[in-house]
């Protein structure tokens, strides 16, 4: 505030050197004077800190303050007389400048908030590009569903890295059993209750916000879908509710470089015979969750 006052006072004195002293007539009301001086300050700061300085240095300051004064319905003469009045009344001048500083602070806050919203909007647009998650990006449970699991199923796009990420908060009062993020691949050539390369990360019920990411590399291009739950849970009986917040949900695919892809990736149907698959590659939904969790390969962090 002191820096602004030191800057505003010379501006007011500088204006006096541009005109001759006149008799005291009509004055600009304090409210409008605060708005005018706020814009004068901003204009003066711009013209003294930008490339416009050279262009405007040959003009009288009053010339580029004139549009501001006229915007509020006053003339240069009335503005000058008002400035003279405040110069003759130091206490009122100090009060006026305090209000100007306050107005500038409000303007700065509003512009800062607008800039933040614009940045967030740009980030949201950027995040939407290539995001395979098409549902809404933020969820509050139980408001948006007491037992919601946020299921997704997207067609695979070839060999490469498939990743799921979200900002997750699971609150201490959450009643679900072992809440987690859970993803896997499957092929339509087999029953949909089989899961290939499953990965799981369990959430902590501590109310802390964490960015959770699961990544799955697909080399077997016979897999037709990437499937999972953003907030899964083990089955339980009775009435219960989830208490969690999930935001910034993203599902993305990064293709594998062509030179790395081997022709051997295109396996025949006989290679997908379930009798030849290892137990870790085949998991039925009707198995107990205890057995299921033992067989799930959890990504190490």
The DSSP bridge pattern shows strands 160-170 and 210-218 to be: antiparallel
Q: pLDDT of 166-216, one tens digit each? A: 999 999 999 999 999 999 999 988 776 788 889 999 999 999 999 999 999
116, 128, 243, 285 from 119: Cα distances, Å: 5, 14, 30, 43
- What CA–CA distance (Å, rounded) separates 89 from 84? 9
| pLDDT score of 112 more than 70 | yes
Measuring CA to CA, which residue among 139, 138, 170, 145 is closest to residue 240? 145
Does residue 170 contact residue 150 with C-beta atoms inside 8 Å? no
DSSP-based three-state secondary structure for 284: strand
User: For the chain, where do the domains classified as CATH 2.60.120 start and end?
Assistant: 139-295
Does residue 135 contact residue 182 with C-beta atoms inside 8 Å? no
| pLDDT score of 266 more than 70 | no
Q: What is the pLDDT of residue 5?
A: 52
Buried b (16+ CB within 10 A) or exposed e, 17-43: eebeeeeeeebbeeebbbbbbbbbbeb
5, 30, 97, 98, 197 from 102: Cα distances, Å: 11, 14, 9, 6, 60
Q: What is the pLDDT of residue 18?
A: 47
What is the CATH number assigned to the segment(s) 139-295?
2.60.120
Phi, psi of 278 (to 5 degrees): -70, 155
| 251 burial via Cβ count (<10 Å: 0-12, 13-18, 19+) | buried
Q: pLDDT of 138-149, one tens digit each? A: 999 999 998 999
């Amino acid at each position: 505030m002191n820096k602004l006052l030191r800057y505003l006072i010379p501006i007011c004195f500088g204006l006096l050197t541009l005109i001759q002293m006149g008799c005291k007539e009509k004055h600009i009301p304090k409210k409008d004077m605060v708005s005018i001086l706020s814009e004068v300050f901003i204009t003066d700061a711009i013209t003294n800190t930008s490339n416009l300085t050279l262009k405007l240095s040959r003009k009288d300051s009053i010339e580029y303050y004139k549009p501001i004064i006229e915007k509020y319905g006053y003339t240069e003469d009335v503005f000058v007389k008002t400035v003279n009045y405040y110069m003759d009344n130091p206490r009122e001048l100090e009060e006026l400048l305090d209000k100007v500083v306050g107005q500038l602070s409000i303007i700065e806050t509003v512009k800062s908030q607008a800039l933040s919203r614009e940045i967030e909007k740009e980030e949201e647009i950027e995040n939407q590009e290539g995001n395979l998650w098409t549902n809404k990006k933020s969820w509050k449970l139980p408001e948006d569903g007491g037992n919601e699991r946020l299921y997704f199923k997207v067609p695979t796009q070839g060999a490469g890295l498939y990743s799921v990420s979200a900002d997750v908060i699971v609150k201490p009062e959450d009643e679900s059993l072992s809440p987690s993020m859970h993803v896997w691949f499957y092929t339509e050539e087999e029953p949909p209750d089989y899961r290939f390369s499953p990965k799981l990360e369990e959430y902590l019920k501590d109310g802390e916000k964490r960015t959770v990411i699961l990544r799955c590399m697909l080399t077997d291009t016979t897999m037709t879908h990437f499937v999972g739950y953003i907030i899964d849970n083990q089955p339980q009986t009775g009435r219960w509710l989830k208490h969690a917040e999930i935001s910034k949900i993203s599902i993305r695919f990064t293709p594998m470089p062509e030179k790395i892809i081997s022709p051997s990736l295109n396996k025949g149907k006989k290679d997908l015979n379930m009798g030849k698959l290892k137990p870790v590659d085949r998991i039925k939904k009707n198995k107990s969750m205890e057995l299921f969790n033992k067989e799930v390969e959890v990504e190490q962090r």
